[in-house]
Amino acid sequence: MKQTTQESALLHAILEAAVDAMIVSDDAGIILQANPAACSLFQYDASEMIGQNVKMLMPKSLAKQHDGFMRHHIETGEKKIIGIGRDVEGQRKDKTVFPLHLSVGHSQVGDQRLFIGILHDLTRRRATQDALSRSQRLDAIGQMTGGIAHDFNNLLTVVIGNLELLQMRGVTDRQSPLVKEALESAEMGADLTSRLMIFARQSNLKPAKTDLRDLCGDTLTLLKRTLGATYHIRTDFAQQVDPVMVDPVQLQSALMNLALNARDAMDGRGELLVSIANVTIDDTYMAQETDIAPGDYVRLSVNDDGAGMSVEAQQRAFEPFFTTKSEHGGTGLGLAMVYGFVRQSGGHITLYSELNHGTSFRLYFPALPVVHEAGATKVPSGENNGLPRGKGQTILVVEDNPKVRRLSLERIRDLGYVTQEAISGDDAYALLKDGMQVDLVFSDLVMPGALNGYDLAAKVVAEFPDVKVLLTSGYASDVVTTAMSHERVYDILHKPYRQSDLAFRLQALFS
Question: Which string of b and e fits 430-458 if b means at least 16 CB within 10 Å?
Answer: ebbeeeeebbbbbbbbbbeeebbbbbbbb
Instruction: Tell me the per-residue pLDDT of 152-191, one tens digit each, with 9 for 90 and over.
Output: 666 666 677 777 777 777 777 777 888 778 777 776 666 6
**Same domain, yes or no: 212 and 296:** yes
277: nearest Cα among 261, 301, 259, 255: 301
In a domain, 387, yes or no: no
Instruction: Tell me the per-residue pLDDT of 323-350, one tens digit each, with 9 for 90 and over.
Output: 665 454 444 556 877 887 888 888 888 8
**Same domain, yes or no: 42 and 100:** yes
Write the CATH number for 243. Answer: 3.30.565.10
Write the CATH number for 39. Answer: 3.30.450.20
**Same domain, yes or no: 106 and 242:** no
**Same domain, yes or no: 304 and 272:** yes
206-211 contacts at long range (C-beta below 8 A, 24 or more positions apart):
206/247, 206/249, 207/245, 207/246, 207/247, 207/345, 208/245, 208/246, 208/247, 208/248, 209/243, 209/244, 209/245, 209/368, 210/243, 210/244, 210/245, 210/246, 210/248, 210/251, 211/241, 211/243
32: nearest Cα among 91, 99, 95, 113: 113
Write the CATH number for 445. Answer: 3.40.50.2300
In a domain, 214, yes or no: yes
Number of domains in the chain: 4
Instruction: Report the percent of the chain where pLDDT is more than 90.
Output: 20
207: nearest Cα among 320, 335, 365, 362: 365
Last residue of a domain, one of 377, 405, 422: 377
Angle (CA) 454-456-459 rounded to 5° is 110
Structural domain including 89 reads: 2-121
In a domain, 135, yes or no: yes
**Same domain, yes or no: 247 and 370:** yes
**Same domain, yes or no: 336 and 216:** yes
Residue 171 CB-half CA count within 13 A: 15
**Same domain, yes or no: 424 and 367:** no
**Same domain, yes or no: 9 and 23:** yes
Q: What is the H or E stretch that residue 360 is in?
A: strand 358-366
On the question of pLDDT at 94 being above 80, the answer is: yes
**Same domain, yes or no: 143 and 230:** no
Indicate the pLDDT class of residue 375, thresholds 50, 70 and 90: very low
Q: Report cis status (omega within 30 of 0) of the bond before 402.
A: no
Instruction: Tell me the per-residue pLDDT of 378-431, one tens digit each, with 9 for 90 and over.
Output: 544 444 457 899 999 999 999 988 888 888 898 899 899 999 999 999 999 999
- In the chain, the amino acid numbered 94 is D
Report the pLDDT value the prediction gives residue 153, as an integer from 0 to 100: 60
Residue 509: Cβ-neighbour burial (10 angstroms; 0-12, 13-18, 19+)? middle
CA distance 290 to 425: 25
Report the pLDDT value the prediction gives residue 382, as an integer from 0 to 100: 44
Last residue of a domain, one of 67, 87, 121: 121
Report the pLDDT value the prediction gives residue 339, as an integer from 0 to 100: 83
The pTM score is 0.55
Residue 274 CB-half CA count within 13 A: 23
Cβ neighbors of 137 (< 8 A, separation 6 or more) are none
**Same domain, yes or no: 280 and 323:** yes
In a domain, 454, yes or no: yes
Instruction: Tell me the per-residue pLDDT of 238-281, one tens digit each, with 9 for 90 and over.
Output: 999 999 998 887 888 888 888 888 888 887 888 889 999 998 88
Last residue of a domain, one of 121, 153, 172: 121
In a domain, 385, yes or no: no
In a domain, 384, yes or no: no
In a domain, 461, yes or no: yes
**Same domain, yes or no: 222 and 154:** no
On the question of pLDDT at 104 being above 70, the answer is: yes
256 vs 478, more confident: 256
The gap from C-alpha 235 to its chain's centroid, in whole angstroms, comes to 24
In a domain, 435, yes or no: yes
**Same domain, yes or no: 365 and 258:** yes
CA distance 321 to 332: 4
Indicate the pLDDT class of residue 145, thresholds 50, 70 and 90: low
Q: Which of 77-81, 194-198, 331-335, 438-442 has the highest mean pLDDT?
A: 438-442
